[in-house]
Amino acid sequence: MDLDLARKVLAEQPFSRLLGARVTAFGDGEATLELDIRQELLQQYGYVHGGVVSYAADNTLTLAAATVVGPGLITSGFTIDYLRPATGEILRAHGQVVRAGRTRVVSRCDVSTVDAAGKQTLCAVAQGNIAVIDARS
């Protein structure tokens, strides 16, 4: 898999299109996903909704795994710890593979916000198990 295919796969996900997610880096066991923070993605206190932060971590964990084992993957489980409220201009999730096996990949992800000045603030960390569902891919 390469960056173009990763972008195509993401574009095939209706929910990813709804959120406006984009893959900005992909390769060598790492992947980065970004989305613009906008009013529709906030909760009642003005922070990015936890479900959006969780979505970013989930997809990025799997994207990172795909850099090592290719497509045909699905998240089989993950944990996320919210460290601080997410506010800013961009939500950025950066994932990396911890260990890749034949049927499972373990990845971890840092989710940060980026403000107008370009300063990143870590807001969540996640770790997940990614299952290979199509070994032929």
pLDDT digits over 82-101, tens only? 999 999 999 999 999 999 99
pTM over 0.75: yes
pLDDT of residue 132 exceeding 60: yes
Distance (Å, rounded) from C-alpha 32 to C-alpha 93? 6
pLDDT of residue 136 exceeding 80: no
C-alpha distances in angstroms, 106 versus 64, 81, 111? 9, 16, 17
What stretches of the chain show up as alpha helix (H) in DSSP?
3-11, 14-19, 50-69
Give 23's strand partners: 33
- Mean pLDDT score, 30-53: 98
Distance (Å, rounded) from C-alpha 116 to C-alpha 95? 23
Among residues 24, 89, 9, 91, which one has the least CA distance to residue 53?
91
User: Collapsing DSSP states into helix, strand and coil, what is residue 91?
Assistant: strand
- Residue 32's Cα: distance from chain center in Å? 7
- Mean pLDDT score, 40-59: 98
Mean residue pLDDT of the chain comes to: 96
Q: How many residues does the chain have?
A: 137
Distance (Å, rounded) from C-alpha 59 to C-alpha 16? 9
Distance (Å, rounded) from C-alpha 34 to C-alpha 66? 17
Task: Express each pLDDT in 63-78 by its tens digit.
Answer: 999 999 998 999 999 9
Q: What percentage of the chain has pLDDT greater than the value 70?
A: 98
pLDDT of residue 135 exceeding 60: no
